[in-house]
Amino acid sequence: MCGKFQLGEMVKSIAGRDTGKYYIVVKIDNEKYVQVADGDKKRLERPKRKNVKHLKPAGFVHKELQIWLSNGKRVRNEDIKKIIKDFVKNEEAN
């Protein structure tokens, strides 16, 4: 596993066209790359491959989602969208 990121972790893009967008790590390729999804434009079927240098941890890991991804259980795009939406709403409230 990558030392910097974990499955189910919320991350924010800090470089590229999608700067400022939140994603969830759905797969770890190697030490330099992870695959992220937002459930909308980047769905679980075709996640976005991002360099870890271009991502910033948001300080939140969804434990239930992490277990589902680790065990290969079916995760829906709607679940990903809801988790991100709730996180962003909570961030704006603080």
> In the prediction, which pLDDT does 36 show?
97
Q: What digits encode the pLDDT tens for the residues 30-87?
A: 999 999 999 999 999 999 999 999 999 999 999 999 999 999 899 999 999 999 999 9
Tell me what the pLDDT averaged over the chain comes to.
92
Six-digit token string for 79: 């679940």
Question: Distance (Å, rounded) from C-alpha 81 to C-alpha 94?
Answer: 20
| Domain of residue 39, residue span | 9-93
The confidence score (pLDDT) of residue 4 equals: 86
Residue indicated by tokens 């996640």: 47
Q: Is residue 1 part of a domain?
A: no
> How many independent structural domains does the chain possess?
1
* Cα-based angle 23, 81, 38 (whole degrees, multiple of 5): 30
- Does residue 2 sit within a domain? no
Residue 36 located in a structural domain: yes
